[in-house]
Amino acid sequence: MSLPVVFIPEYIDKAGKDLLTARYRCIAPWFGGAARLDAPREDAMRSHLYEADAVIVRVFTISADDMRRAENLKVVVKHGVGFDNIDVAAVTARGIPVAYTPTGNTNAVAEHAMALMLSLMRRIVPAGEALRAGRFADRNDFQGEELEGKTLGIVGVGRIGSLVARKAAFGFGMNVIAFDPYVSPERYDGPAVLTDFETVMKTADIVTFHVPLTRKTRRMVDARTLAFVRPSCRIVNTSRGGVIAQEALTEALHDGRIAGAALDVFEEEPIPPDHPLCRLPNVVLTPHIGGLTQTAMRRTALLAAQAVIDALEGRTPEYIVNQP
Positions touching ligand NAD (CB under 6 A) are: 81, 102, 105-106, 109, 155-161, 179-183, 210-212, 214, 216-217, 238-240, 264-265, 288, 290-291
Pick from 250, 62, 93, 235: which is nearest to 153 by CA? 235
Closer of 105 and 306 to ligand NAD (Cβ): 105
User: Known catalytic residue: 313?
Assistant: no
Closer of 106 and 175 to ligand NAD (Cβ): 106
- In the complex, the smallest distance separating the C-beta of residue 107 from ligand NAD, rounded to whole angstroms, is 11
- In the complex, the smallest distance separating the C-beta of residue 166 from ligand NAD, rounded to whole angstroms, is 13
- In the complex, the smallest distance separating the C-beta of residue 213 from ligand NAD, rounded to whole angstroms, is 6
What amino acid is encoded at 155 in this protein?
Answer: V
User: Known catalytic residue: 240?
Assistant: yes
- In the complex, the smallest distance separating the C-beta of residue 19 from ligand NAD, rounded to whole angstroms, is 23
Residues paired with residue 151 on neighbouring β-strands, in sequence order: 175
Residues paired with residue 54 on neighbouring β-strands, in sequence order: 6, 75
Closer of 111 and 180 to ligand NAD (Cβ): 180
Parallel/antiparallel/unpaired status of strands 5-7 and 25-27: parallel
Decide: helix, strand or coil at residue 48: helix
Give the full edge-to-edge strand order of the sheet including 98-99: 25-27, 5-7, 54-57, 75-78, 98-99
- In the complex, the smallest distance separating the C-beta of residue 240 from ligand NAD, rounded to whole angstroms, is 4
User: At CA 225, angle to CA 181 and CA 249, rounded to 5?
Assistant: 120
Phi, psi at 166, each rounded to 5°: -70, -45
Give the full edge-to-edge strand order of the sheet including 193-194: 193-194, 175-179, 151-155, 206-209, 234-237, 260-263, 283-285
Q: How would you class 301 by CB atoms within 10 Å of its CB: exposed for 0-12, middle for 13-18, buried for 19 or more?
A: buried
Closer of 59 and 130 to ligand NAD (Cβ): 59
- In the complex, the smallest distance separating the C-beta of residue 161 from ligand NAD, rounded to whole angstroms, is 6
CA distance 96 to 75: 6
Closer of 182 and 314 to ligand NAD (Cβ): 182
Phi, psi at 271, each rounded to 5°: -70, 135
Active-site choice (58, 240, 267, 299): 240
Active-site choice (122, 288, 298, 318): 288
Closer of 21 and 199 to ligand NAD (Cβ): 199
User: Known catalytic residue: 269?
Assistant: yes
250 Cβ contact partners less than 8 Å away, ≥ 6 residues apart: 275, 276, 277, 280
Positions marked catalytic: 240, 269, 288
